[in-house]
Amino acid sequence: MRFSWQLKLGLALVSFSIAVYSIKFLVLKNPTDTLNYVFNSLGFLPISAFLVTIILNELLTMRSRRERLEKLNMVIGTFFSEVGTTLLAGISDCDPGLDGIRKQLLIQDTWQDQEFEDLKGFLEAYRYEVDISKIDIRNLTTFLHEKRNFLLRLLENPVLLEHQMFTETLRAVFHLTEELERRSGAGKLPDTDLSHINGDLVRVYRNLSIQWVDYMKYLKKNYPYLFSLAMRTNPFDQEASVIVRK
């Protein structure tokens, strides 16, 4: 039977301990002192095992979690750069109620965590609407079709399992892509079908909006230079410009 390297290492360490205690017993000829030392060591063994297996393992787990979170946020950033910001800007412009809340969506570089949380709570409770008559279905279909392979690669990324909200956002966008692609060349759509697509648009709009706030909060805390660009290209700001004027 083949031994694993862990078992081989364990046998080697145990053998080394036995050899050390045997030499100590033979050379010093003090069995009482040797036995006392062995029992003292055995008494400390559970504490040592606790320190190594529990605390050290937790530290390694925390480090691994931070690394996975960093990779996930890189994926989210790529998504917004390629698809999310443009899509959110296009859909939100067709929200008849957006003008009434637009000022609340203009994130500032002085914001703290609580202000981001307040905005997220507001968007979670907001009643999303989309006037589909203002949506250019053909252009939207073309845009999402061009990003289809990119969305598929994101869905295949195992790191997304760590973030349910973003996974749902990605699925909603991909579902909208499929719905529109299957209607390509169908001509004028009936009102009942437009109502169905409108529901898909609202789902994407809501998920993107909430996810965008979390993403902006992350950038503000960790990458101020990326946050500056994201703030200047705010999809809810009709006057947004990448050019720095202040």
57-93 pLDDT, tens digit per residue, is 777 777 777 777 777 888 888 899 999 999 999 999 9
Would you say 88 and 209 are in contact if contact means Cβ atoms under 8 Å apart? yes
Given a cut of 70, is residue 188 above it in pLDDT?
A: yes
Q: What is the pLDDT of residues 207-217, one digit of tens each?
A: 999 999 999 99
Q: Provide the 3-class DSSP secondary structure of residue 130.
A: coil
| pLDDT(186) > 70 | no
- Residue 187: pLDDT band with limits 50, 70, 90: low
Q: Which two tokens stand for residue 146?
A: 């061009």
Confidence of residue 109 (pLDDT cuts 50, 70, 90): confident
pLDDT band at 42 (very low <50, low <70, confident <90, very high): low
Q: Average pLDDT for residues 167-186, to the nearest whole number?
A: 87
Q: Could you tell me the pLDDT band of residue 238, with boundaries at 50, 70 and 90?
A: confident
User: What are the CA-CA distances from residue 49 to residues 6, 57, 175 (Å)?
Assistant: 16, 11, 50
> What is the reported pTM?
0.74
Within 13 Å of residue 97, how many CA atoms lie on the same side as its CB?
7
Local structure of residue 56 (DSSP, 8 states): I
Token pair of 186 as six digits = 């169908």
Residue-range domain boundaries for the chain: 5-59, 70-232
State the Cα–Cα distance between residues 85 and 94, nearest whole angstrom: 15
Looking at residue 121, its pLDDT comes to: 94
Under the banding of pLDDT at 50, 70 and 90, the label for residue 190 is: confident
At residue 30, does pLDDT exceed 80?
A: no
User: In Å, how far are 10, 15, 17, 194 from 3, measured between CA atoms?
Assistant: 11, 16, 20, 65
